[in-house]
Amino acid sequence: MAVATASEWIAMGEQNIQQVSDELEHRRFMKALLTEVRALEDMHAKGMFEGGIRRIGAEQEMFLVDRAHRPSLSAVSVLDQIGDERFTHELGLFNLEANLSPQELGGACLRRLHEETDEVVRLAREHAAKSDAQIALVGILPTLTKEHLSLGSMVPKPRYFALNEALMKLRGSNFKFSIKGIDHLHLEHDNLMLEACNTSFQVHFQVEADEFAQLYNIAQVVTGPLLAACVNSPILLGKRLWHESRIAVFENSVDSRSTAHAVRGHKPRVHFGDQWVDESVIEIFKEDIARFRVILTTDFEEDPIGMVARGEVPKLHALRLHNGTVYRWNRACYGISETGRPHLRIENRVIPAGPTVADEIANAAFFFGMMAKLSRSIDDIRPYFNFADVKANFMAAAREGLRAQQIWFDQKQMTAQELILDVLLPLAEEGLREASIDEQDIEYYLGIVRKRVDMRRTGARWQLESLESMRGKGSSHECLRSLTSSMIDQQASGKPIADWSLAEFCFAQDWRESYRTVGQFMATDLFTVRPDDIVDFAASLMEWRYVRHVPVEDNEGHLLGLVSHRQLLRLVARGSSSEVMVSEVMHHQPLSVPSDTPTVEAIRMMRDQRLSCLPVVDDGRLVGLVTEYDLMIVAGRLLESYLDEPQ
């Protein structure tokens, strides 16, 4: 039976996509959008959508990393070498995406999906190696730094720059957000590249038009526990945050709301939703047109309503493009198969990439099984749940993974781990069996999920536990490189995450890659004083924390001065210091550098200026400190590495 190709099923392709430049163009595109919605309504009323068949599909996103296990900006060259139409670029030059072939649900479909995913990952690895790069499957790459999130790291495609410019224009300000986990990240960023921090294994589930509302609501209900089982993104920019930090990062990275709109409660362009679907997919498209301003335009058909009246199938370019700029975690998708029949899909976007292909297919099997069983056994799931509880389940799973509290039928509350093991895995098993999936595949893939959940060994917990085991053995950057190195090695083994050993600190790594800029090794856990503090407080900090320099800052974090141990000794030599203020003895306007300053440059600056301490300042605010002692560690590590090399 002929089915849609991967590119037809999933991608918009290389259309003439550009930013909406003026009001006239905006009105033309809006008219096209409204016309296409009416055409979609006519298609629904005439029963034109494909039915009688369930298909599944997926998109595999991945990171490119260099030999130092940092992002590799090699996507363009790797894609040129691969020459496979299933592959395409993503937003960042360190990302790749492969669109996998749709499979009819049943029989060996999961195994075939696994085999093709293995194939595209193998191809990516082989061709990445030619560019001296490797492939990492993870929701957020632990070694990403802010320097990788500039427009220079964006794939040089006009549509990406148009999207970036349009979102920034709508916002009227930089992207700002704060995430609290084990650590706290407060970030301000001036472009769209935060979106490139995230990679996923997006799965597609084809449904009939008349059952779309029923199945979409079910997808919303199961997404929380699904996410809890597969979290794999706990680290962003060196901070330990949510178990699936992608959720918070993505919602903020393409947030087009101005401050005024955010205060009024407008939804961000990435969102879970706030209500059930009542009748059909058309409700979703209408809401997204009503809520979210058009930011891109493309060529569109002149008379889609007339095409439907004549029995022709319109491509609905305008509707699909606008839908592609609104990122629901369960997104409605319209497509056309090879036979020319239109169809509808639910695209679940919450499953992160990795830790292995086996884990990804197991997560997909879990989702498809829950969908299949609940769609057969419950006509309308809405009476059994409050939507607010469903959304709360999702957010709790993103934050806490398997220990998150989940509310299920009859308002029963339990941890995600208990819910999955006791209720949802047996339910998914029945669903896959009723869908005629091969018995050995049901046992294999759901067994992967069961073992992972039973051991509480998600990708997120593996990363966090591995970092904890490396505490004190090296700098944060060195530990994150060791973590990523172990991740890539164990992914290549194909063993699911439940069978992995914790990452170990790699003493043999090339130390130079962890000390190229001061931001990679500077001290960030700083104890500071204010100008109106008494000097005795600064002296006490030095004694308590075994430091010889204390920065002086204001309440907004702006660097105002520096107090050194030498200055305090001079003060003591002159007499009592009990009534002296910090402002009277501090060195005003000390020399500072940004965090991306090359280490060699900082060393020369400290040597030439005879500095024993160098504050690090970004965007006017103190972010770190580099001292002579830090540079001694750098020099020692690099000298040891050099002397150990065979002559």
Neighbours of 485 (CB within 10 A): 22
Quick one: pLDDT band at residue 398, thresholds 50, 70, 90? Answer: very high
pLDDT above 70: residue 18? no
Look up the pTM and report it: 0.86
Alpha-carbon gap, residue 562 to 580, rounded angstroms: 15
DSSP 278: -
Quick one: pLDDT band at residue 266, thresholds 50, 70, 90? Answer: low
Opening angle at CA 527, ends 523 and 532, nearest 5: 140
pLDDT above 50: residue 10? no
As a whole number of Å, the end-to-end CA separation of the chain is 64
pLDDT above 60: residue 14? no
Non-local (6+) Cβ contacts of 317 within 8 A are 15, 298, 299, 300, 301
Please report the pLDDT score of residue 529 as a whole number.
92
Please report the pLDDT score of residue 426 as a whole number.
98
Which residue type occupies 186? H
Burial letters for 107-121: b for 16+ Cβ neighbours within 10 Å, e otherwise?
Answer: eebbbebbebbbebb
Which residue type occupies 575? G
| Structural element, H or E, at residue 621 | strand 621-627
pLDDT digits (tens, 9 = 90+) for 418-461: 999 999 999 999 999 999 999 999 999 999 999 999 999 999 99
Non-local (6+) Cβ contacts of 392 within 8 A are 407
CA-based radius of gyration for the chain:
27
Quick one: pLDDT band at residue 190, thresholds 50, 70, 90? Answer: confident
DSSP 3-state of 622: strand
pLDDT digits (tens, 9 = 90+) for 205-254: 999 999 999 999 999 999 999 999 999 999 999 999 999 999 998 887 66
Sign of CA dihedral 404, 353, 343, 159: positive
